[in-house]
Each structure stands twice: as C-alpha cells, then as structure tokens.
C-alpha cells in the first residue's frame, strides 16, 4: 500500500500533484512519501509486538537524511555499512545506541568512528576483522561491543546478486567456525561479546529461508550461552521482499509470527534491519519523455532518466511498473513500447515490452517502487549529474537533495601541471 494515487486524473504523492513538483524542480527526480514510510515502519514494528525488538532501518536502501530522520522520529535505529552511512545516521538524529554497523570490510578509520560514537554493536564477519577491531579498540582505550555475523548456508532463492547467506558468498563466518571465533573473541582485550547476527539476502519472497536461518541462529545462540557467552542481542537482518509486479511476499505479520515462534523463546533482545520493506514502495522516479522513436521492431519511448539514475532494471533485471502521470482515459488505446534512457548502453532500458497509452514528447511518467536501492545506487555516468530527491508530507513537499550541476562536477576536476599551462585544454576550460 502506498500513497501515490491518481486524483482528478493526475498522479499525486499524498496530496501533491507530481506534475507540480516536476514543473518546479525539473526532471528527473525521486519523490518519497512520508505517510508511506511511516506506515511501513509502523506495520513492521506492530508485527513484532510482544518481542523486545529494535528496528534498525537499513540505511543503504535509502540514505537520504530526511528519510532517515522521518524514521528516527518514530524511534527507528539504523543499520549502517560504511563510515559515511554512520555519519548520516548520526546527523539525521539516530541515537548512537541504536546504530548497528555491518559489512564484510570496514577500515580502521570506520571502526574508530563507530567506537568513538559509542554505537550499539559492530557486526564482525571474519577472524582478521575481529583482530583489527580489537587493536583499534585497545588503542582508543575502548571496548567494542560485537556480534559475529554467521553464514547459515541457506538459499534465499532471491536474485543471485542479492543472495548473501550461502556458504559460497563472501558474507559472514561459517556456522561451524562460529563457536571457536566467539571463544577467541571472549578472550580478546578491547572486545565485548554482545550478540549474534545473520542476514541471508534481500527481496526474499517466502518464509522458508528465514525459518531455516533463524532456526540455525537460535541453535547457535543456545550453544554460545552454554559456552558461557552473554548473548544479549540477536540481529536477524533484513530481506523481507515486497511486491514489484505480482509477487506475494509474506506479510510482516507472518514474518513477525515466525520470529516469535523461532527466536522468541531465547528471550534475547532483537535487532531487525529492514530496508526495502520500509522504503521501496515509498518512492517513485519521475521522468519526462524526450521523444518517441519508431524502431525496426517496436517503438522506443526515450525518457530523460537513465540507468545511471536508477540501475535496478539493468543490474537485477528488476521489473518496475511504469505509469503515465496523467491518468489515461478508460479504454484509451495502448501500445507495446520499450522505455529507455539516453545512456550509450543497450542495457539502459527500464522496460522492454510495456503497454503504455499513447504517449508523446513532454509527457511525464513515473517508475513505481523506486524508493529503495534507487537514488543510493546512482552514478554520474555520461556526465549526468545526480538528480534531486523530494520528500512529500501531506500537501507540502521539500527538495531534500538538490540537483547537482555539471559545473559542480567539473569544479572537482583539475588539470595536472603539464596540461595546465598554455594548452588547448586550458583555453577551452577557460581557466
């Protein structure tokens, strides 16, 4: 359920017509709905009622400060995977003791920043990382609260690029090695064992992989307690899928019931780090049609957004509904077209065979379910600068990230000395 609906024939974000934003801000841009973000967060937390659970929004899904702050206001923590995301979470107002730091490779600077901030838990993914962290913590005179991320060897049956819990993946410590690593951790200066962590992938559409991963994690937790470790936190990761096309993922209530039955009996405090579930359907990507080009086999609708702005269709073959911003009249003739961006790659396509009503240059379209892994994965390929992000709340909207200009981009580049004097490049650059 989201709050991007037609009103009087115009697609709106809550009570704001998308067209109005497009006219003010220009295209392309990302548009997020506050009410949708809040609703998804509430539905998820309510599904966990009765558990001592902390929901840490996975910042990598959508790391805009305003999005993080919206969720932080409701009490959300943050799951971060870099020093940059840690800083974002802190700046957005997430209390340090609600931040968890995950990821397979952290620099010593990132570790130090996390320790100085005093975050809740650092999830460690290997023995060498544990040793690095112990060193950093000792040199700062601190103790690092750690969880060890285990790899439960469970197939999430998701896209190969977002499956993380199989033994051949780079993530986590094999279950069979976990007890030994905890034994070592418990003896290390600068390390305090706090929890166990698991995360098996993203866009998971059935409960079974979760059930299996949680079962194995529960077993391990009991074994670790029997070994004398004080395991207070179990971090179950994120990964619950959402509908993009006609998928029917488990509901948060079903997921919550599973967590209760498998993990509840441990009596631990829980961390859950959903990303996509919170942000995915809370955002759209709005783009303007440049022109319609007749191809040899089908027509191409060429739009001003491209794979650099939104890479999910190219990277994961992801399906995103494409809808016209002006609602098509009932019974309007529709035609099968391919919607593509202007980037010089054949992979720069948003939908190969889409039925769209008669559409022409100047029309606006929206790609739905673009709130997660959208803006955060953008690049500036083809010298196409990063596009704005807009947050709507009821009948108001705010630009929460400005459009970057080409001049901003060029200002960060300099010519080396041997090119900078009296050359053609210098004269051209006008420097």
Ligand X SMILES: *Cc1c(COP(=O)(O)O)cnc(C)c1O
Of the pair 34, 163, the CB lying nearest ligand X is at 163
Cα dist. 408→404, 412, 425 in Å?
6, 7, 18
* 313 scored as a contact of ligand X (CB under 6 A): no
Of the pair 202, 349, the CB lying nearest ligand X is at 202
Which of these ranges, 22-30, 84-92, 244-252, 275-283, lies near ligand X under the rule CB under 6 A? 275-283
241: alpha, beta or left? (left if phi > 0; alpha if psi -120 to 50): beta
What sign for the dihedral angle of Cα 88, 56, 237, 376? Answer: negative
* Long-range Cβ contacts of 89-94 (<8 Å, 24+ apart): 89/59, 90/117, 91/65, 92/65, 92/66, 92/68, 93/68, 93/69, 94/68
Pair type for strands 4-7 and 10-13: antiparallel
- Give the nearest distance from C-beta 373 to ligand X in angstroms: 7
Binding mask 336-375 toward ligand X (x if CB under 6 A, else -) reads ------------------------------------x---
Of the pair 57, 397, the CB lying nearest ligand X is at 57
Which among 369, 244, 353, 342 has a CA at the least distance from the CA of 288?
342
Which of these ranges, 86-94, 111-119, 252-260, 268-276, lies near ligand X under the rule CB under 6 A? 268-276
Give residues 218-237 in contact with ligand X (rule: CB under 6 A).
237
* 199 scored as a contact of ligand X (CB under 6 A): yes
Of the pair 17, 374, the CB lying nearest ligand X is at 374
Query: Total number of residues binding ligand X (CB under 6 A)?
Result: 17
- Give the nearest distance from C-beta 103 to ligand X in angstroms: 7
* 165 scored as a contact of ligand X (CB under 6 A): no
Give residues 92-121 in contact with ligand X (rule: CB under 6 A).
102
User: Which residues, in sequence order, are CB contacts of 225 under 8 Å at separation 6+?
Assistant: 231
Helix, strand or coil, per DSSP, at residue 117: helix
Pair type for strands 77-80 and 364-367: unpaired
Residue 344 appears among annotated catalytic residues: yes
- Give the nearest distance from C-beta 120 to ligand X in angstroms: 14
- Give the nearest distance from C-beta 421 to ligand X in angstroms: 48
Of the pair 145, 237, the CB lying nearest ligand X is at 237
Give residues 44-103 in contact with ligand X (rule: CB under 6 A).
58, 60-61, 79, 81, 102
Does an H or E element contain 42, and which?
helix 34-46
Q: What is the DSSP letter of 115?
A: H
φ, ψ for residue 308 (rounded to 5)?
-70, -30
Out of 273, 304, 309, 389, which residue is the one contacting ligand X (CB under 6 A)?
273
Of the pair 239, 341, the CB lying nearest ligand X is at 239
Out of 36, 64, 126, 202, which residue is the one contacting ligand X (CB under 6 A)?
202
The residues pairing with 32 across neighbouring beta strands, listed in sequence order, are 283, 391
Q: What is the DSSP letter of 82?
A: S
Mind telling me the catalytic residues?
344
Residues in contact with ligand X by CB under 6 A are 58, 60-61, 79, 81, 102, 199, 202, 237-239, 273-277, 372
């Amino acid at each position: 359920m989201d709050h991007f609906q037609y009103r009087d024939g115009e697609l709106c974000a809550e009570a704001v017509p998308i067209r109005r934003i497009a006219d003010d801000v220009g295209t392309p841009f990302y548009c997020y709905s506050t009410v949708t973000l809040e609703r998804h967060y509430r539905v998820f937390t309510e599904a966990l009622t009765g558990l001592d659970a902390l929901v840490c929004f996975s910042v990598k899904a959508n790391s805009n400060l305003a999005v993080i702050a919206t969720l932080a206001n409701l009490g959300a923590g943050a799951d971060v995977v870099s020093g940059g995301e840690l800083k974002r979470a802190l700046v957005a107002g997430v209390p340090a003791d609600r931040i968890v730091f995950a990821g397979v490779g952290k620099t010593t600077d990132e570790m130090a920043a996390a320790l100085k901030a005093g975050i809740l838990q650092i999830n460690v993914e290997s023995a060498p990382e544990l040793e690095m962290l112990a060193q950093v913590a000792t040199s700062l005179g601190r103790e690092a609260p750690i969880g060890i991320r285990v790899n439960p060897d469970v197939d999430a049956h998701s896209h190969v690029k977002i499956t993380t819990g199989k033994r051949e993946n780079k993530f986590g410590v094999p279950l069979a090695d976990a007890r030994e690593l905890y034994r070592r951790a418990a003896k290390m200066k600068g390390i305090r064992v706090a929890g166990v962590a698991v995360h098996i992938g993203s866009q998971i559409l059935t409960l079974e992989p979760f059930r299996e991963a949680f079962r194995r994690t529960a077993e391990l937790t009991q074994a670790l307690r029997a070994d004398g470790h004080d395991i207070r936190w179990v971090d179950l990761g994120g990964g619950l899928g959402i509908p993009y096309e006609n998928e029917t993922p488990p509901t948060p209530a079903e997921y919550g019931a599973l967590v209760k039955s498998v993990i509840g009996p441990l009596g631990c405090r829980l961390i859950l780090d959903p990303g996509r579930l919170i942000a995915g359907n809370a955002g759209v990507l709005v783009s303007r049609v440049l022109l319609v080009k007749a191809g040899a086999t089908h027509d191409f609708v060429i739009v001003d957004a491209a794979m650099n702005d939104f890479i999910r269709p190219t990277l994961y073959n992801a399906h995103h509904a494409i809808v016209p911003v002006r609602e098509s009249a009932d019974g309007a003739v529709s035609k099968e077209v391919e919607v593509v961006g202007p980037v010089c790659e054949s992979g720069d396509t948003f939908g190969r065979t889409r039925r769209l009503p008669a559409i022409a240059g100047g029309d606006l379209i929206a790609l739905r379910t673009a709130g997660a892994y959208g803006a955060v994965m953008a690049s500036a390929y083809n010298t196409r600068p990063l596009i704005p992000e807009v947050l709507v709340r009821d009948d108001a909207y705010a630009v929460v990230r400005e459009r970057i200009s080409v001049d901003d981009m060029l200002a960060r580049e300099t010519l080396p000395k041997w090119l900078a004097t009296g050359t053609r490049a210098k004269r051209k650059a006008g420097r």
